[in-house]
Chains A and B, each alone.
Chain A
């Protein structure tokens, strides 16, 4: 089991390193960062000065090593466009997005587990078909559309909830919750619908297994048997999907961030690309890659915790 974790950790580190090299090379060969920072009217002397300040005169390997070395210490550098340190900004924006994603995934689970389980248990009944149909509908609706519809209904028409913007939870917890309800719902309902499909098929699979028949033969009701034994087994494929979804949502949150005017990491990336802030884009992309890899790593590790059979191999 420990060897498993160490091996996965190594894979995680190597992937992160490779990703950082690719990101760096891709973004360094494109354009002239000094000219971008100074604008089109810059004199040749100013450009040369800026190149020196940005360290662009050094060999590319040196540039990479100093960048990655700084990041290892949490120093993402200072943007030459905004002249602000990048690390703290990524931290700030990432926290916002993590709140958004975490809440969205909780909503997704709360929706998907009962919906999927019931759809499986009732798969021969009309009620089951209706639940399946509902989740199908949810899959078809993109999160931003859900967001726009929720805003139209609950913010503009009914006036119950704010239409957007972000409130720092530490300063105003109630306001934070109020502002997050609609974004969480628009992310969570759509992802929940997707997840519900997987929960349904996973539970259906388990219902055909021998151990469940045995459990029922011992006199357990179908419900109890599924909840007691089935769900734990069904959770492995569901967990895989959940991990993938979390990564998708993390990256895809930008759309929801735009609709709800939330200053998250996705908006930061889009803005940085727009203002050609190379250093910031590098930092953000690498951060997102590392988080995605970390989620995969955690999901892999979680298998071992849930399923004892995977521990011994």
Chain B
């Protein structure tokens, strides 16, 4: 009896892993999942398109993120809109819990940031209506909006901003908080003036302030972050039925224009079919993450459903262990890239949704260079390179974490590599094992497939030092990245474009496709963000017509 129950627990764990792994396509953040991040604050950082040294932010209309609806804005309604999501948060506290699930619900909707990221990736005003950066790139002067209140009625002032920034530095236990280490001091000059001084120039910092670490919190409520969420946003946290749904309701005292839909329900489905059925039977109005693109056919009726095919920052790639023989030979890695027919892989694995990429970038990155065709499908060339490298009878293992895109892509990759004379054995690994053995030391793998979802994460994933699981070592790349991060805008773009080319030339990995933001919505739902750019699922502009 007891043994049976212990077994149940184990198999339950297995089910759960598969379930949570299904969401990894959208939610996995490898670079924030383990502790091996010491390099991030040293080399981490990129610039933001509009945020070069000495630039000044200006007022633009509306808040970021939410797509402005075409045509006239409708009147606010008392309706309810239910969204289907995959991964339910563990608690409401993203200062101690990592993962994408909590900021997806709370950021921008409940907690706001000083600056926001617009759909095109530019930085726009949020709770700060404008800001200036000193020419040396060290001092940021923010002018905060006046008349902003937290949902408990207390005013939001520069003191709260100082508190929030220092709180990230001292109390947050998740590793994304490392990005705040660059801040030397934050001071409230007046209730609406905030001065932040960095210890060294870091253009990435302002961009990072649009993510969860930039969330402005009230000092009065931080001891109950797990169960309460008091922010300044257009919605307030209202109710959580554990295992089922989280409900947000309109904040009637919001400083900006009133949210259009009164109630937004985030409903969680561990089973993709159950989520599809819920939309078909009108229990939800939006599938926010399509997990099985071939199943989209049942939503073909355009009069009833809208399919949204936008972009994310996700880069689906077959990572190669660049330090392990024979993959430490650039010719072997190039041969693998020549052997793969990437458009065919995308078509078969993900129904053609997404964009084929050839380096660690997505088309919305400011430095994007189209390298998708760097290694055209050429089996003869692949065989020739393998022969030159003396690897005519190559056998490699491909470790597959339980994520749907890996399972979908693996069979095609195996057969294409077999055509070039490379024998690939696939092994399935649990997500825990993937994190413990592949993503962390001892980096025990040849090949694996994963979606790196973080924006501008090339400085982490390919930092040029062997301190990351890709084990790609190239001092030139490290130098270019550092120089780009601290230089002006033009230098930054040029340096990073060169990094992209070097990574592609060195075949540092086999990049497959830029992960699409695939959603299905009821045809009368308007205002869904087309692209999943930031960390939140911004519902501010959502309404039904």
Contacts and interface: CB of A to CB of B under 8 A. Distances in A.
Interface string A36-61: 01111110001000000000000000
Contact of B281 (A23, A163, A267, A268): A163
B5 interface: yes
Given A93-B243, A267-B243, A275-B90, A39 B98 contact: yes
Given A39-B174, A163-B278, A261-B278, A271 B93 contact: no
A163 B277 contact: yes
Contacts of A22: 2, 6
Interface string B95-115: 011100000000000000000
Interface in B5-23: 5-6, 8-9, 12-13, 15-17, 19-20
Contacts of B274: 163-164, 258-261
Contacts of B178: 41
B281 A162 contact: yes
Interface residues of B, number: 46
Nearest to A289: B5
A175 to B, nearest CB: 12
Contacts of B20: 274
Interface stretch (A77-85, A105-113, A232-240): A77-85
Interface residues of A, number: 50
A28 interface: no
A89 to B, nearest CB: 6
Contacts of A162: 281, 283
Contacts of A68: none
Dominant secondary structure of chain A at its interface with chain B: helix
B98 to A, nearest CB: 6
A263 interface: yes
A251 B8 contact: yes
Interface string A156-181: 10010011111000000000000000
Contact of B278 (A148, A164, A273): A164
A83 B19 contact: no
A155 B277 contact: yes
B244 interface: yes
Nearest to B37: A41
B242 interface: yes
Contacts of A271: 16, 88, 243
B226 interface: yes
Contacts of A274: 13, 16-17, 19-20
Contact of A156 (B33, B270, B280): B280
Contacts of B277: 151, 155-156, 163-164
Contact of A39 (B12, B96, B227, B241): B96
Contact of B33 (A40, A260, A270): A40
B458 to A, nearest CB: 21
A148 B274 CA distance: 9
Interface in A257-287: 258-261, 263-264, 267-271, 273-275, 277, 281, 285
A146 to B, nearest CB: 14
Interface in B176-223: 177-178
B34 interface: yes
A1 to B, nearest CB: 27
B353 interface: no
A281 B177 CA distance: 30
A189 interface: no
Nearest to B177: A41
B33 to A, nearest CB: 7
B244 A261 contact: yes
Contacts of B283: 162-165
Contacts of A264: 243
A78 to B, nearest CB: 10
B35 interface: yes
A257 to B, nearest CB: 9
Interface in A109-128: none
Contacts of A231: none
A165 B8 CA distance: 25
Interface in A126-156: 148, 151, 155-156
A263 B226 contact: no
Nearest to B176: A41
Contacts of B278: 163-165, 261
Contact of A281 (B9, B97, B280): B9
B273 interface: yes
B304 to A, nearest CB: 13
A19 B91 contact: no
A279 to B, nearest CB: 13
B269 interface: yes
A187 interface: no
B55 interface: no
Contacts of B91: 81-84
A19 B91 CA distance: 29
B227 A270 contact: no
A254 interface: yes
Centre residue among A37, A40, A92, A251 by max chain B CB count within 10 A: A40
B17 A19 contact: no
B175 interface: yes
Nearest to B436: A40
B392 interface: no
B257 interface: no
Interface in A66-82: 81-82
B271 interface: yes
B173 interface: yes
B34 A40 contact: yes
Centre residue among A163, A164, A254 by max chain B CB count within 10 A: A163
Nearest to B4: A251
A309 to B, nearest CB: 28
Interface in B273-317: 273-274, 277-278, 280-281, 283
B9 A89 contact: no
A6 interface: no
A26 interface: yes
Contacts of A83: 91, 93, 226-227
Nearest to B20: A274
Given A84-B226, A274-B19, A274-B20, A41 B243 contact: no
Given A46-B173, A162-B283, A274-B16, 6 more contacts: A18-B2, A37-B96, A41-B177, A42-B173, A84-B242, A155-B277
23 contacts: A19-B2, A23-B5, A38-B96, A39-B96, A40-B35, A42-B173, A46-B173, A81-B91, A82-B90, A83-B93, A83-B226, A84-B226, A156-B280, A163-B277, A163-B278, A163-B283, A164-B278, A164-B283, A165-B244, A258-B270, A263-B243, A267-B270, A270-B15
